[in-house]
Structure 1
Amino acid sequence: MAAQPAVRAQSNTPVKIGVLTDQSGAAADFSGRGTVLAARMAVEDFGGKVLGRPIELLDGDHLSKPDLGVALARRWYDEGVEAIFDVGLTSIAIGVQQLARDKNKVVVYLSTGSTDITGKYCSPNGIHWTYDTYSQANGAFLAYGGSPKDSWYFLTMDYAYGANLERDVTNRVAATGGKVLGTSKHSFEATDFASDILRAQSSKATVVGLMTTTMHSVTVMKQVEEFGLRAGGQRVAAPALTFHDIKALGLPIAHDLMIVEAFYWDLNEASRAFAKRYLEKFGRMPNMNQASAYGAVTHYLKSVEAAGAVEPGKVLPKMKATPINDFMTKDGSIRADGRVIRDMYLLRAKKPAESKGEWDLLELVKTLPGSEIFKAPDTEACNLVR
């Protein structure tokens, strides 16, 4: 009888998970409050409990500031948060990756792009869920390159994300015999890209690659249109552009741009059903990061339930052994290095006359199999796949 209060206390102790994201800074539209909403929808649809314990979902705004983001993650883990979702900015992700390993917790990256998360920073505690720079670069190359006659000029953000994008596209260009004619680098704080665009234009490269973040790509693309690069015959590849960037640009500018996404709301009945619910709650359609929050949180909670425990040593093997199936992902899998392998989609921004509504922005060009669009395991950098 004396043990019963302890059992009751355990059943009432919440299972804490957190969504760490940029809710009011430069990347707020890329993930932000929309990702928090999708995670909450997943918890609600799961029934609000797991293992008989209430699920408590925390959300934190790191404002795309590394010190703030890592400090908040540390505090959450110390206060009993079992898993953190999203994270975003690479510099924050690298810090959280080490924290999760040191404290034996779980972290699932949604809007983080760097392939280093499953390369030199790989960890048994980290899962790279949605996309990465290699899949974006690979898709951009397939859409705009592929011929030995192609030449490229890069406008690259001087930051890990931009460097990774440029590296991955350069490797593909070199493999087909194409040429890279040059690179102009800009800072994270840059807002005027005129001189860089003029260099790209004067290079006469057949493809101008915008190797910059989603937060910068809209501004760069508007300036690219002002300088008439596409009108002059140059193709413009913008791997980091997302669904919401196409909305921000507007189809008069964005038409015929090609993007690679893990999700588009109008792909099938299941994606449309989720998007309708999300739109009713948030007033906007979900992008791939926001949609993936629902699947990632659900997969984690199912794995906790199947493991019968919240300890990462029991939950993570279940997550990696269980196929991912939801409205966004069919028969997805998690590699030993943490990379989720799923199909991606090559999508074309519609011409204004082709659009039938506010959110009717994209047309499916091709499904890109996960086995081909993602980079092979890095056996030199990551000891988990040796």
Structure 2
Amino acid sequence: MDFTVDDTITELTGLVRDMGEQLVTDDSLRELDARFGPGTEAGGGDRETARFHSRFWDELVRAGVPAALAPERLGGAGLGVVGEALVLRELGRVLAPVPLSASIRAAHLLDALGGCDPDLADGVASGRLIAAVADGDAPEVDWAPIAYAYLRTMPDKLLMPGEFTVERTVPVDFSCAGIVTPEVFHTEPLHRDPAEFDALRRRVHLAAHQWGVVEAALERTAAYATTRHQFGRPIGSFQAVAARLADGLIDVDAVRLSTLRAAYELDACSSEPAGRKLFAIEITPAARSAVASAHFWACDAGHRLAHSAVHIHGGVGLDRSEPAHRYFLAAKANEFRLGGATRQLLDLGAVLATEGDPWEYSA
């Protein structure tokens, strides 16, 4: 399998990395924590007090990043789930609190309807209008407190409330989320495939974000291990610490490869690569299994790396004045959103028992 990407994706991810490193600094995240972070959970009732990096989001929109990842019929560049995953990895590296995944998912769902409000679809696709997409039947919805549009998929319909209220919640990473109570629903017919594909896309997005989180956490931890001295030596020179960092590198690679494989398999499901239409997609066992594998590694490796980062940093790893604790919280939040690793092993075991190796005949 060839994971080589084209120049457009390479340039886009490079742009997002440069912007993220310049704008999403430790100082800017510390300011967001002061608005809606530890000790301020009762606040955050609107966009101005939410844990949302509005400046970075505005720059992403101005640079056309959400628009590039939108469906081609809404002006996107046709970069596929692989392109989405590589960009979301960059957001994970800097812990950028912006609703790019929700924007991408909402744009593709609205595109699948075909006849929805063009102004709404264009606004969501470009990122000018922030959308929130419910994850199945889960009551908590990421980005709902600052969303203009709210979507919930069901097997045969898409629910779009014209009016809704949100009760702010406090996820483990203090991200922007809330419980949505719809007041007026607009129901649109939706083929089953878009709903299932959206669920798989969400899991790949979370795995890609986790890839960036643990990759950056490992880099920061390794750098700390070269500067922190005990007994006159850097702690990174001790065998136990060096071995744990080496294990972390293997874990990051596992998340990287499984996530890219899952994204590749989802893209390969499309019968029309040049003009991807969700309702024309036949989701293969290989794609479902690849997503489950990425899901497993994002949870399992993410758990180990989050704890390794804290342990190697020592007490500093949990100090709110230092950045390490944010990576721990982000990795745990992604693990919780995905639902844990054990369930995925059971699901993969069931696939192997009933269908054999789903990748035997895949590309």
Category of TM-score, reference length = shorter chain? 0.3 to 0.5
The structure with the greater share of residues assigned to strand is: 1
The structure with the greater share of residues assigned to helix is: 2
TM-score (norm 2): 0.33
TM-score (norm 1): 0.32
Structure with the bigger RCO (C-alpha within 8 Å, sep 6+) is 1
